[in-house]
Chain A
Amino acid sequence: DIVMTQSPDSLAVSLGERATINCKSSQSVLYSSNNKNYLAWYQQKPGQPPKLLIYWASTRESGVPDRFSGSGSGTDFTLTISNLQAEDVAVYYCQQYYSTPFTFGPGTKVDIK
């Protein structure tokens, strides 16, 4: 199974500043045949289901603000929230869908400083 880790566990960022979340997979999630990274990012607010933010490691889902961006390849990935807004307070999860069992990272909690 592919193990997903995230860092940090939590972070507090001032409004308008940048939040950076790292995600690492225990093996590459890059398919050489199509050069796609099978990595997604989700946002979950209390009492709500997860919401897809980013897929293929860097493709923003329709309707997601452009302050959310994803980068990385192979085993190391980053979610960046630039110009943090109050509504971005949430837990963020990375997920690999390269192979079953699909696995999620443990989550990173983002708060306002």
Chain B
Amino acid sequence: EVQLLESGGGLVQPGGSLRLSCAASGFTFSSYAMSWVRQAPGKGLEWVSAISGSGGGTYYADSVKGRFTISRDNSKNTLYLQVNSLRAEDTAVYYCAKATNSWELLNAFDYWGQGTLVTVSS
């Protein structure tokens, strides 16, 4: 059974940093691109970043480029999102999501974690 479990969220002051993690199980992690998608309270879904299965390709939304860094450790089956220079508008639930098909970035997301809440406030 595929499972994705996010952690690392919390309350942080503007300008602060966090590292979000997503522990994956139930599939061959290194074969699948992964993404982070966020959802501000009461709002819609916003794709944040993606990474290829090997980790060699990374992609970002303009709203986070230069502040967020996606990475993965395939030996630990874990996806990460380093979030720096946080702003109030980064407050959201952050979900990790798995690509539907192996070896392809351009895929829908067939499994999602339960999310981790990041709150940016002084």
Q: Which residues of A contact B (CB under 8 A)?
A: 1, 38, 40, 42, 44, 49-52, 55-56, 61, 93, 95, 97-107
Asked whether A98 lies within 8 Å of B109 as measured between CB atoms, the reply is: no
Asked whether B108 lies within 8 Å of A52 as measured between CB atoms, the reply is: yes
Say if the beta carbon of B88 comes within 8 Å of chain A: no
Q: Determine how close the nearest CB of chain B comes to the CB of A43; give it in whole angstroms.
A: 11
Residues of chain B contacted by A55 (CB below 8 angstroms): 100, 107-108, 110
Identify the 9 closest CB pairs spanning chains A and B, nearest first. Answer: A40-B108, A49-B112, A55-B108, A102-B47, A100-B59, A104-B45, A101-B61, A107-B44, A52-B110
Asked whether A49 lies within 8 Å of B115 as measured between CB atoms, the reply is: yes
A107 to B42, CA, bound (A): 11
A102 to B113, CA, bound (A): 18
Residues of chain B contacted by A99 (CB below 8 angstroms): 106
Asked whether A52 lies within 8 Å of B109 as measured between CB atoms, the reply is: yes
A42 to B107, CA, bound (A): 13
The interface bits of chain B over 39-64 (1 if a CB of A lies within 8 angstroms of the residue's CB, else 0) are 00000111100100000000111100
